[in-house]
Chains A and B, each alone.
Chain A
Amino acid sequence: MNPRVAVRYAHALMGLAEEMKLLDKIAEDFRDIEQTLRGSRELRLVLTSPIIAPDQKRNILSEVFAKRSSDLTMKFIALLIEKGRSEYLFATAEEFLAMLDAKRNILRAKIQSASPLTEKERMELEAKLERMTGKRIHAEFTIDPSLRGGFVARMGDAMVDASLRHQLELLREQFLEGGTPILN
């Protein structure tokens, strides 16, 4: 849940990037920024800290990103700092990437399975989810032994639950003739 400010800035950036036909480059830059910030708590703290002067923040950021990033990205970062919104850089990056996904009809899926999936299984699973949602799936696979078996795919709010754990829960409910909400 990102603040509205982040949505506004991301929107502006998106518009400008499209106009200048730099969308791919900017997208790359922001994926980089997002990952860097996600990885570095110190850098996030620097951006949110009110004690560190804006000039200093700008210097730090240009040192980190200037070599890799395009001109527009650096200008955008400078603008954020100028407006005293440096703490929203991470949120803006996230929001921008989410907008980009929506634009490119991409759906991010988090797929957990009880045991590692083979490459073929992954492909099949993605293909199946793509058919189901009508969107291109970019999946992130993790392993969660507590599922006991099967897999769970989460795409936004929607859950596709084919795990053994869930089925056992359902079975338990059925045996208990549950279904009516019980108060604690």
Chain B
Amino acid sequence: MSAVRPDEVSAILRQQLSGFEKEVDLYEVGTVLMVGDGVARVYGLEKVMASELLEFPNGVYGMALNLEEDNVGAVLFGDETLVKEGDTVRRTGRIASMPVTDAMLGRVINPLGIPIDGGPEIKTDKFLPIERKALGVMQRQPVKEPLQTGIKAIDGMIPIGRGQRELIIGDRQTGKTAVAIDTIINQRYTHTPEAAARGINPVYCIYVAIGQKASTVAAVKTKLEEQGAMGFTTIIAATASNPAPLQFIAPYAGATLGEHFRDSGRHALVVYDDLSKQAAAYREVSLLLRRPPGREAYPGDVFYLHSRLLERASKLNKELGGGSLTALPVIETQAGDVSAYIPTNVISITDGQIYLEPNLFNAGVRPAINVGISVSRVGGNAQIKAMKKVAGTLRLDLAQYRELEAFAKFGSDLDKSTQQLLRRGQRLVELLKQGQYQPMPVEEEVISIFVGTNGYLDAIPVEQVRPFELGLLESMRLRNADLLAAIADKKELTPEIVEQLKKVIGDFAANFKA
């Protein structure tokens, strides 16, 4: 850094001073009655608005949440020890809002838009309220573009479309975050020139970490950087050490930033990891504000808490630019109990759920997606034709397999057709296994599933399925790149492509056995 000359400094100061002519300042104030547990009660502030930002002494900011007959309940975003009884509180006249800008990509920020990664200040004039109303019916259009997760099981059977809300639900340590991170990594492809040539628009990602360990957030950031996905991703972090009010507004901040992309005709993906912790943070704040507790001590409006957040996911109509905001909320269940309060709420709000199971995870099926009870209610329209075609029988085959799975131990006592179903099922399950941080391009997914559902694997031992798949894809990338490109370009399996595919796979299978 070069030395700053003193006369330059004075020149800048003089310039700033010349624009400074405020004689009288008018503002409204209140007095702190009590403060504690991150909540303050304020007397006065008669004209304060709901969720308005308040300025406490020592640079602490708060948000008015309860407007009562004789006092205002506010949550503090800063250190409560800096605020004491009798302090003066000032209205800012601003609804709690955050700065939004493209410069936030590649950065880690807190829910108020302040960078916390030690990087330079983020400069912008554009502020948007954290709580925005979701769009109405007329501004939307049905979900129709795919959002490829790069995970075979999801893109094949539980497809997600841009503008959809798909819940990721499961116990702790079942790979929920892994699914979300893989999806973000897979969006790397949408930012390449090849994708642009195929008419695939880039997807900007926002990862909202709520109540997680700071070390976990740092690990996610490092992983995304390693995979070259941080360039189009913003991490909004309200870690476990942040006050509950910050954790509670973090998802709304993520949605606001996502809307910035959506409203400019682009596509955004927001991962809320996870909403159970947000609900717990909101419960804490609500109880401290003395709102009456309801089921599981959550306040009465905990459904609205999540519905108004997820309703902001949308696909805009053409006149508004056709942008989209896809939401991937994450919910952690306790011992597989999806009938607890928060999981049932969020399941009913979203357009489907991806259910992850510890049993599958421990059995080595990873990602541990239970495809039997996972659904996507709207994504089917967004699937490319090729995928729709090959994956059509996949779900059915797997369902039949699960039904007969219990009989597998009878082995050769079973009739031919049952044995065939079991054989096919085992291989399909094996085929849908996929390593972490290894999302696949959609054309390769199509080929993998094509191989499985067309019986090319039936003759191969189960433990050879993955080597076969990897070998086939490897050889196709080397020798049949034009075929892969044709699938990606046409997005469907024409009879010619099917013919070629059959030939290539047949040849490979013959060599593989030999």
A residues whose Cβ falls under 8 Å from a Cβ of B: 1, 154, 156-162, 166-167, 170-171, 174-175, 180-184
Question: 6 new A-B pairs (CB below 8 Å) besides A159-B27, A161-B27, A171-B20?
Answer: A161-B26, A181-B114, A183-B112, A184-B60, A184-B79, A184-B82
Q: Which 5 A-B pairs have the closest CB atoms?
A: A184-B78, A162-B24, A184-B79, A181-B61, A161-B25
Docked-complex contact A156 and B22, CB < 8 angstroms: no
Given contacts A167-B22, A175-B16, contact A157 B47 (CB under 8 A): yes
A182 to B55: give the CA distance in the assembly, Å: 11
A45 vs B58: C-alpha distance in the bound complex, in angstroms?
36
Residues of B with Cβ closer than 8 Å to A? Answer: 13, 16-17, 20, 22-30, 33, 43-47, 53, 58-61, 70-71, 77-79, 82, 99, 110, 112-114, 246
- Evaluate contact between B33 and A1: CB separation under 8 angstroms: yes
Q: What separation, in Å, do the CA atoms of A1 and B43 have in the docked complex?
A: 7
Contact A157 B22 (CB under 8 A): no
What residues of B have a CB within 8 angstroms of the CB of A161 in the complex? 24-27
Minimum CB–CB distance for B290 against chain A, Å: 16
Residues of A within 8 A of B24 (CB): 160-162
Residues of A within 8 A of B29 (CB): 154, 157-159
> Nearest Cβ in chain A — how far from B257, in angstroms?
15
Whether B25 and A183, one on each chain, are in contact in the complex, defined by CB atoms closer than 8 angstroms, is no
Residue of A160, A161, A174, A184 with most partner-chain B CB within 10 A: A184
Q: Considering the chains assembled together, what is the distance between the CA atoms of A166 and B27 in angstroms? A: 12
Contact B59 A182 (CB under 8 A): yes
Known: A1-B70, A181-B53. A157 touches B28 (CB 8 A): yes
Closest residue of B by beta carbon distance from A158: B28
Which residues of A are found within 8 Å of B59, using beta-carbon distances? 181-182, 184
A167 to B16, CA, bound (A): 14
Q: List 19 A-B contacts (CB under 8 A).
A: A1-B70, A1-B71, A156-B44, A157-B28, A157-B29, A157-B30, A157-B46, A158-B26, A161-B26, A170-B20, A170-B25, A174-B16, A180-B99, A181-B114, A182-B59, A183-B78, A183-B112, A184-B59, A184-B82
Report Cα–Cα, A5/B307, bound state, in Å.
40
Name which residue of chain A comes closest to B47, CB basis. Answer: A157
Give the chain A neighbours of B44 by CB distance below 8 A: 156-157
Task: Kindly name the residue among A174, A175, A180 whose own CB sees the greatest number of chain B CB atoms within 10 A.
Answer: A180
For B28, the closest partner residue in chain A by CB is A157
CA distance A166 to B112 in the complex (A): 25
Among A154, A156, A157, A174, which residue has its beta carbon within 8 angstroms of that of B20? Answer: A174
Q: Contacts of B112 on A, CB cut-off 8 Å?
A: 180-181, 183
Do residues A180 and B20 form an inter-chain contact, with CB atoms below 8 A? no
Is there an interface contact between B25 and A162, defined as CB atoms closer than 8 Å? Answer: yes
| Residue of chain B at shortest CB distance from A177 | B121
- Choose among A1, A170, A184 the residue that contacts B22 (Cβ–Cβ < 8 A): A170
The answer for the CA separation of A161 and B44 in the assembled complex, in Å, is: 17
Select one of A171, A174, A175, A183 contacting B110, CB under 8 A: A183
Residues of B within 8 A of A180 (CB): 99, 112-114
Across the interface, which residues of B come within 8 angstroms of A162, CB to CB? 23-25
Q: Tell whether A181 pairs with B77 under 8 Å between CB atoms, given A156-B46, A171-B20, A174-B20.
A: yes
**Residues from chain A with Cβ under 8 Å of B17 in the complex:** 171
Complex contacts, B246 vs chain A, CB 8 Å = 183
B46 A166 Cβ-Cβ under 8 A = no
A3's nearest neighbour on chain B, judged by CB, is: B70
In the bound complex, residues from chain B placing their C-beta under 8 Å from that of A159 are 25-29
Tell me the bound Cα distance from A184 to B116 in angstroms: 12
Residues of B with C-beta under 8 A to A166: 25
B residues less than 8 Å from A154 (CB atoms): 29
**Bound-state Cα–Cα, A159 to B26, Å:** 6
Q: Which residues of B contact A170 (CB under 8 A)?
A: 20, 22, 25
**Smallest CB–CB gap between A4 and chain B, Å?**
8
Q: How far is the CB of B30 from chain A (nearest CB, A)?
A: 6
- Chain A residues with CB below 8 A from B27, complex form: 158-159, 161
Considering the chains assembled together, what is the distance between the CA atoms of A180 and B246 in angstroms? 16
Given A1-B33, A157-B44, A157-B46, A182 and B20 touching (CB < 8 A)? no
B residues in contact with A160, CB < 8 Å: 24-26
CA distance A127 to B47 in the complex (A): 25
A158, B78: Cα distance in complex, Å: 25
Q: Is the CB of A183 within 8 A of B47?
A: no
| Pair B13/A175 contact, Cβ less than 8 Å | yes
Which of chain A's residues has its CB closest to B46's CB? A157
Instruction: Tell me, in angstroms, the Cα distance from A161 to B26 when the chains sit together.
Output: 6
Which residue from chain B places its CB closest to the CB of A132 in the assembled complex? B26
Tell me the smallest distance from the CB of B93 to a CB of chain A, in Å: 13
Using Cβ atoms and an 8 Å threshold, which residues of chain A touch B78?
Answer: 183-184
